[in-house]
Structure 1
């Protein structure tokens, strides 16, 4: 069982960098659906201080359907401000299941045809109406850690410090 964070055509490199750090720190997989609004070449990553990037399990995909066909047994969930259910309404504790959490572009979210296709698996993060949405990297961290909490944080190996 694994947790997978899927970024649909991300536009802001800092958000993707923060999410990649969360993935590295939680043994989660990162999937980037193209086109990207930035470069992930080594020079750009080093410049952004992403020294943890080699620890991230990252896959690139040309489309959502390419990702979906590669992981037909995966449980896909779509995070969008329009979801009727919230992140806490779902069970992510099955030890044999791969969970894919799909996040949309920072400016426009997920395409309507995608959320309509998977309407039963769309959810939102509870929030007030004072903001349009939460920051993408914060939202990804909330979702990943809720799934980990339900799994008793099993994928995380805690390093012990030496006194």
Structure 2
């Protein structure tokens, strides 16, 4: 088993992203904001895997939206072009109105961990403009995926 596959054991959703030349900044490596964009991509892939609707107005579906409340990122390795990034994402804590996600990002070229991020996701009722309880379908989907 390759070292990245081994490190991503326990991450039910994985995403590969090719680094684009235009994502680098004047320092010659991928700009820090792009890392956050890639983590967002992994979060969306996780919700897609659950079949939870990702739409501009989640209220149209009768379900609360899932929005980012807080995020931190620890940058461990500068990434540059050409490379392919592999992200693994999992839910680490499931509460009444939110859940926490952990994401690990690996550089295929360097075969190393490049960054880690933690995100607090809140379910949000767009009609009342306030937090909402996690729908049972979302809770059960997460529990099943994380088994």
Q: Could you say which TM-score interval applies, normalised by the shorter chain? A: under 0.3
| Greater share of residues in helix | 1
| Greater share of residues in strand | 2
Length-normalised TM-score, structure 2: 0.24
Length-normalised TM-score, structure 1: 0.23
